[in-house]
Structure 1
């Protein structure tokens, strides 16, 4: 599957804010299975392969708890390479007594849990794209129970040894204030494609016919405000673009629709209509 490499546009990194860095590091290492790539007094970069940073956690000055009913992170989603990895992390969670939710989405099987600050996490595996059901340009997704008896029949003798090195940041799902301007920003500005409409309250978009690289919902309320900058939650996420030409084209398109784009030392950042911060990276 090539949904998370060139020439596809995909989310490759997420930056979140927490109240206590050391507490969060304990969780992300011992429960989720990340390794520390590097660390400062108020920030840590986390990796699975020792080379690529998938997640950054930072403790802002004067940090305040996660605000409810705001825009921002619904969850970030870690994509495991094989189904056996999902079975092994289920056993790992059971062994250490971690509670989690779960869903069979037809295109994938997913586990859900939150970090100590309430930042939501999905850990999932994809079914083979040949099993995805497309109709009129939309992919079928649902919320069914996982068959754990069947899942746990898969396994190996090694068990859980942390996140596999070829884990990806599979997608991100965001709370937004409304869907119409959000859709315009991500399709006309960032050149992504709507692949599923979940009623009138959620929308899923992707590049290259993936089931979704980004999801949006208005479940925190239409017109929900952005959280304060020192609140626990999403700091930013990074969209990986195939080349400089693609980035220049996207920046021009964002300018054409009146979106905010900021350049600093060769790095480009934009804000979606709900205030979610996006780094545009080649």
Structure 2
């Protein structure tokens, strides 16, 4: 494997293409709990801290909404809330809006799952303390899909009132549909330097920087060799990998250039595509 990616690497803002900007922006405010940072007729930037965008919605012409698990692209993006109390408040609000809410105790975290009006998957979750995470004999982190203690979660927040996502909320990870797991592993592990934290049979990989349970999930649940979505499909435009400083960013860019993988400069950072054509913006925090 190549030199590991910087341990303070994280996932940043996620950019979605949408067919109905007003509907999606309202959903992400009223149901999920984001606040508007900026907006115009083509784009809405959503935030949790009032300073930085965490989710950006961009309206595209003639957009089509595809069925889930149909192409490569987004499986879900995962919003990490600071405390179990925050997750309790979120689940109450989701129930209030009569949404179908999936749920799982992953041992390392407790997670809720919903979909937005354009079939984009969303996870809202809270981590358990790292000293409670356990590992198997191969050094891979133990995760599961056990049921959450549902009533206990609902009752956790007591009499507190939901007022949107807490300021400490971040983008915890992103999970992608890919066409080929081996090529995906070569790109993210052998070139970028993420570490494999867990496998799920031969259908999914979970990767991280710095020993986190996972910053990236990849699966072939849309089928091995799944096609790319058309350009006018609603869904993922790109997601952001945040390096802590310019030196760490330049190291990643050099590894891509050595591997003869094209990187494209932009005002925000550098764009690159993984082998399934999922688009990534590489940026530095400082």
TM-score range, shorter chain: over 0.9
How far did 1:266 drift? Answer: 6.7
Matched positions, count: 277
Q: Does the CA-based 8 Å contact 1:42-1:59 persist in structure 2?
A: yes
Per the alignment, residue 71 of structure 1 pairs with: 72
Does residue 56 in structure 1 map to residue 56 in structure 2?
Answer: yes
Residues 119-138 of structure 1: matches in 2 within 5 Å?
Answer: 119-135=120-136, 136-138=138-140
How far did 1:95 drift? Answer: 2.3
Q: Secondary structure at the match of 2:155?
A: coil
Per the alignment, residue 3 of structure 1 pairs with: none
How far did 1:178 drift? Answer: 0.7
Pair 1:220–1:266, CA change in 2 (3 A): closer
TM-score by length of 1: 0.94
Pair 1:266–1:156, CA change in 2 (3 A): closer
How far did 1:188 drift? Answer: 2.3
Per the alignment, residue 114 of structure 1 pairs with: 115
Q: Does the CA-based 8 Å contact 1:205-1:214 persist in structure 2?
A: yes
Per the alignment, residue 3 of structure 2 pairs with: none
Per the alignment, residue 205 of structure 2 pairs with: 203
For structure 2, list consecutive stretches of 5 or more residues without a partner in the other structure.
1-5
Per the alignment, residue 39 of structure 1 pairs with: 39
Structure 1: how far apart are the matches of 2:217 and 2:179? Answer: 13
Q: 1:163 aligns with which of 155, 162, 165?
A: 165
Residues 1-282 of structure 1: matches in 2 within 5 Å?
Answer: 8-66=8-66, 69-135=70-136, 136-265=138-267, 267-282=269-284
Q: Secondary structure at the match of 1:212?
A: coil
Deviations 1:96-137 (A, max 9, x none): 322211011110000000000101100000011111112332
TM-score by length of 2: 0.93
Q: Does the CA-based 8 Å contact 1:185-1:259 persist in structure 2?
A: no
For structure 1, list consecutive stretches of 5 or more residues without a partner in the other structure.
1-5
Deviations 1:173-232 (A, max 9, x none): 000001111011111222111100111000000001000000000000000111112211
Q: Does the CA-based 8 Å contact 1:185-1:257 persist in structure 2?
A: no
Pair 1:232–1:142, CA change in 2 (3 A): same
Deviations 1:47-83 (A, max 9, x none): 0111111000111122122255210000000001000
